[in-house]
Amino acid sequence: MSPPPLLLPLLLLLLPLLNVEPAGATLIRIPLHRVQPERRTLNLMRGWREPAELPKLGAPSPGDKPTFVPLSNYRDVQYFGEIGLGTPPQNFTVVFDTGSSNLWVPSRRCHFFSVPCWLHHRFDPKASSSFQANGTKFDIQYGTGRVDGILSEDKLTIGGIKGASVIFGEALWEPSLVFTFAHFDGILGLGFPILSVEGVRPPVDVLVEQGLLDKPIFSFYLNRDPEEPDGGELVLGGSDPAHYIPPLTFVPVTVPAYWQIHMERVKVGPGLTLCARGCAAILDTGTSLITGPTEEIRALHAAIGGYPLLAGEYIILCSEIPKLPAVSFLLGGVWFNLTAQDYVIQTTLNGVRLCLSGFQALDVPPPAGPFWILGDVFLGTYVAVFDRGDRKSSARVGLARARTHGADVGWGKTAQAQFPG
């Protein structure tokens, strides 16, 4: 089952980063690098489907090795970082995606007419002394296309971690133009095992099982300051308190497939309540905007003065930004507020200032939906710590206001205000 494709605005697709937390841990950081703005259209929404069964949560392993993965930011809509595959490592930029669970990169053996393949780095099995053939065919369906190829096995290098033997996809056919324009080569999935195509163990699970990562925890910090050269950081194995203003609010994962949680309410200023009886929400680094059911997103934009464009997107009058109300999400009993500066995407195209709403209509049909997707507009404002749990504890997500450069702790006092009633 696949819902209608979600078209990501031509300037929005963020990818968060991971944080570290254990005291005295050796952190491996993968920095994010910001790509200079230029006009591109990208749609990276996968086809949502109902999981067949619940996955087994990862178990702890020996060692104490949090890992940092630097991420690059493309116009606050593409954040990606570098990994290596093979011996010696062949480098690729990948989106770290919590909405899928497979790792794939373009292959040197790709089809001649697969244009995206020829415009990106390609994996060459003959150049790796540690390559092992698998040959199982795979295909992954996304909202605007698919990726087909074969599975292979080789060594993964990520941050300071080396030598993990992983099964990954060599993409032989990328029929969607979305990958032609992408500034990344492939995708590294950070979802639960049940989402993995062909039952392949997700990379984080492999790192834990092989004793290269202490805990199945990772966190994303996205730097949205256009004046800063770095795009943020991905931290494997924990979280870095320097990235956020404490405390973390932990919310249990309700369905361990996507990172799905229960959202209690959404408020737009003092007058409009959405998700009034509670609803499901997905925390997804592979989605640039915040999406919700069409009727609720329409009501939200009526309250903030949004004008509809195409594919559920809305435009905002830039002059109105200082007057717009906050939009707040009640998660784990705490209100997480977004100001208009947080949820309006401001850019300049050909000298013209353009303001796009960070909210988009998307109807995900049953049985998987309906649900909201808290994408990078939300995750750029709030650091998210994704904790897969272990045999003694269930999966959960921790949220806290991201710390901006030069901000002090006092600045965060307005981040989690309580609404009456």
Which tokens go with 180? 């032609």
3-state helix, strand, coil in the chain (%, to 5): 15, 40, 45
Spatial neighbors of 2 by CB under 8 A, at least 6 apart, are 47, 48, 49, 141, 143
Which tokens go with 63? 């060692």
Which tokens go with 191? 């979802």
Cis peptide preceding 247, ω within 30 of 0: yes
- The residue type found at 417 is A
Contact criterion met (CB below 8 Å) for 101 and 193? yes
C-alpha to C-alpha distance for 340 and 388, rounded to whole angstroms: 32
Point out which residues pair with 273 in neighbouring strands. 267
Contact criterion met (CB below 8 Å) for 105 and 168? yes
C-alpha to C-alpha distance for 123 and 108, rounded to whole angstroms: 5
What are the residue numbers of the active site?
97, 284
- Strands 186-189, 90-97: pairing is parallel
C-alpha to C-alpha distance for 291 and 359, rounded to whole angstroms: 6
- Going by the DSSP 8-state scheme, the letter that residue 289 receives in this structure is S
Point out which residues pair with 139 in neighbouring strands. 148
Cα distance between the two ends of the chain: 39
Point out which residues pair with 250 in neighbouring strands. 398
C-alpha to C-alpha distance for 254 and 374, rounded to whole angstroms: 15
What's the chain's length in residues?
A: 421
- The number of C-alpha atoms within 13 Å of 178 and in the hemisphere containing its C-beta is 22
